[in-house]
Copies of this chain bind each other. A is one copy, B any other.
Amino acid sequence: MTNIAIPLYPRFTALDAVGPYTVLAFAPGCTVTFVAAEPGPVLDDRGSLSLAATASYDDLPAPDVIVVPGGPGTIEALSDAELLGWIARAHERTRWTTSVCSGSFLLGAAGLLKGRRATTHWGWLDQLAGFGAEPVSERVVVDGKIVTAAGVSSGIDMALTLLAAMRDEETAQAVQLAIEYDPRPPFDAGNPKTAPAGLSDKAMALIN
């Protein structure tokens, strides 16, 4: 059984956590646990979704995989010594250490990205260099056992890539088919390179 832990902190972005959760929780032989300083409900960045952590950091010190979500709450989480300490200690024994969106800033603050290729949401990509990382504008970046994903929805692509690497392609494909992940966005606006001019400011205003 592969034990996967997703830490939750106030003002995380729900899809950052639930996208990878769904991919990994549907895979055979995986157990996914939401963890926090203390078990209990954790409120998201919109203030309208509350997801339960069922274990504390102390309960789950050595998962096989960690998936660190992003969200506006990373600003406060960057000085959360308990969370950062858990990430740093867990990483010593993980098979895979992963993040979605601004979750990579928490990997950085835990000291894991020095000299590493990594990514995050397009709106903050340059800032990854402040943690000694090499910012890469790709949807999923694999550097050794560290896998970082771009903004919010990219966690689904990251988790499928991860599942193929940690199991096999057929397992990842079976999960992809089970969740009918055959995306058909109605617009080609998911990337600042293809979005209509002037949309970036509007998009950033929605998430800040």
Contacts and interface: CB of A to CB of B under 8 A. Distances in A.
Interface of A: 13-15, 18-19, 21-22, 25-28, 31-34, 41, 46, 48-52, 54, 101, 121-122, 139-140, 150-154, 156-157, 160-161, 164, 169-170, 172-187, 189-192, 194-196, 199-200, 202-204, 206-207
A122 B37 CA distance: 40
B21 A34 contact: no
Which of A150, A169, A170, A178 counts the most chain B CB atoms within 10 A? A178
Given A25-B48, A52-B52, A179 B199 contact: no
A181 B185 contact: yes
Nearest to A208: B178
A175 to B, nearest CB: 6
